[in-house]
Amino acid sequence: MATRARSLFEQELRALQENVLRLGGVVADAIAEAVEALKERDVARAERVIAGDEAVNRLRFDIEEQCLRLIATQQPTAGDLRAIIAAIHIAIELERMGDHAAGIAVLTTRLADKPHIKPLIDVPRMARIDQEMIRESLRAYVEEDPELATRVAERDDEIDHLYDQIYRELLVFMVENPRIITRATWLLWVGHNLERIADRVTNICERVIFMVTGELQEFQA
Amino acid sequence: MVKIEADHLNVFYGGLQALRDVTIRIQERHITALIGPSGCGKSTFLRCLNRMNDTIPGVRIEGRVLLDGEDIYAPQTDVVDLRRRVGLVFQRPNPFPQSIYDNVAFGPRVLGLAQGRALDGVVERSLRGAALWDEVKEDLRRPALDLSAGQQQRLCIARVLAVEPEVILMDEPCSALDPLATLRIEDLMRELRGTYTIVIVTHNMQQAARVSDYTGFFWLGELVEYDETARVFTRPAQRLTEDYVTGRFG
């Protein structure tokens, strides 16, 4: 029935999607690097993550610019329009995740001068789940798969659970030894950044579902 | 409020079926846009609403079209009065080769609605209603054909308004106009909405999206989807509609 028209427009939509994926890859790497730098107490590595946030911001603005141009010149409607709006939202969420990674790196530069107050186990675990969630949410975006998006969003519970665990553990440390309160608090902030990243992934999942189905639904953060 | 209702409407041109079982309720004092590729039946449907199809030899119509609940295809219908109540604006501006005044006065004179000073009033009101008055008031005796294409189309709308219609049908009213003249007609449509029920056939999907409250998508003689315009252009229910409004075929 339908002869394929608008092939140029479709190419541009694909290019937009590729840029969103690229941004997702950069951000997921930044999170991994930030947590590795923390584990290794490697200030130079943390500073590279902080500097790298600039590139993340630029990519996000490129995506927004690309979306504006497509809206202004192509008069997108229906599914095309929803895909473009989704790209804008996803880019914003990814950029903020980049800020969280940079935030972890800043805390690393403060924490690196002394040995860790406890072995880092749950923090790298949270970071790993965050990265998986980012990759899978973007797979749901590309494959237009609302069921996958729902499953990814549900993993936010795992993250919340781990964060809660870190919080309790650090509380016990602080009660036992008030001299480490400052460093324990910084570590708690690391956990908070990782927890927020998962919340932002669920926002991406909501956008994917809206893009595919046209229905707005909110997951419990 | 429903102004016009088509109920299982089928239209045949000889052996060719142009409309298939179209059922639709058109809301009073709103703008309804009909979109779809060439030959989909949208103009045929529009012309059913004031029985303009009657003039085509070999046409056969089944089903009902109700205006304010009355079947316009019933034998007792006064077709002249129907066409006064349901005016039509054509694709190309088609003023009579007469003065601006005589063009607008034509309907009221033929129908005996007004004369003398009253007729002057009708002409002025109609030209104001069509957003043309300020541009032509200095000399209403000018030949209508001296006006620009956009002005001529607004004159044709004034001519329709002069007989105090309830419904205005527009068959691609802007396709012969430049973009600025097009936007003026669209503004005018938004002004007329609220007083009149407007049904517009357009090939310009952005126009349908800009001006209308409801959109009907026709394909191969069928009404595939009919919903609020915002919905049709953001999340249509039918795959066919999606493919059409996103420009994937047509």
Q: Is residue B52 part of a domain?
A: yes
Among all chains, which residue has been given the structure tokens 């953060």? A221
**In the sheet that B59-67 helps form, which strands lie side by side, from edge to edge?**
B16-27, B2-13, B59-67, B70-71
How long a stretch of residues is chain A? 221
Q: At residue B9, what are phi and psi to the nearest 5 degrees? A: -85, 125
pLDDT tens, position by position, B112-123? 999 999 999 999
Question: What is the rounded CA–CA span in Å between residue B80 and residue B19?
Answer: 24
Which residue out of B220, B241, B248 would a mutagenesis test of the A interface target, given it has the greatest number of A Cβ atoms within 10 Å?
Answer: B248
Give Cα A147 distance to the centre of its chain. Answer: 19
Exposed, middle or buried: residue B76 (CB in 10 Å: 0-12, 13-18, 19+)? exposed
Interface test with B, best of A77, A84, A144, A216 (most B CBs within 10 A): A77
Q: Which residue of A has its CA nearest to B232?
A: A78
A6 inside 8 A of chain B by CB:
yes
Number of separate domains in chain B: 1
- Mean pLDDT value across residues A184-205: 97
Question: Does residue A8 belong to the interface with chain B, where contact is any CB pair within 8 Å?
Answer: no
List, for chain B, all residue ranges whose pLDDT scores fall below the cut of 50.
none
Is residue B159 in some structural domain? yes
A96-102 mean pLDDT: 98
**Alpha-helical segments (H) within A75-155:** 78-111, 122-143, 146-154
Q: How many CB atoms lie within 10 A of CB A118?
A: 17
| Domain assignment present for B67 | yes
Shortest Cα–Cα distance, B235 to chain A (Å): 5
Give a yes or no: residue B68 inside a domain. Answer: yes
pLDDT in tens, A42-66: 999 999 999 999 999 999 999 999 9
Say if A80 is an interface residue toward chain B (CB within 8 Å).
yes
Output B54 or A36, whichever has higher pLDDT: A36
C-alpha closest to that of B195 among B172, B230, B155, B166: B166
CB contact under 8 A, B234 and A5: no
Q: What is the mean pLDDT of residues A128-140?
A: 98
Domains parsed from chain A with CATH numbers: 7-213 (1.20.58.220)
| Closest approach of A79 to chain B, Cα-based (Å) | 7
Residue B218 resides in a domain: yes
CA–CA dist B212, B51 (Å, integer):
23
Residue A41 belongs to what H/E stretch? Answer: none
Residue B119 lies in a domain: yes
- Strand, coil or helix: B180: helix
Domain assignment present for residue B250? The answer is no
Residue B199 lies in a domain: yes
CATH code at B99? 3.40.50.300
In this prediction the ipTM stands at 0.74
Most distant CA pair in chain A, distance:
73
CB burial readout A200-220, b (16+ within 10 A) else e: bbbbbbbbbbbbbeeeeeebe
A179 shares contact with chain B (CB less than 8 Å): no
- pLDDT reported for residue A2: 43
- The helix (H) or strand (E) run that includes residue B233 is helix B229-234
Q: Between B233, B249, B250, which is nearest A77 by CB? A: B233
Q: Which domain holds residue B53?
A: 2-245
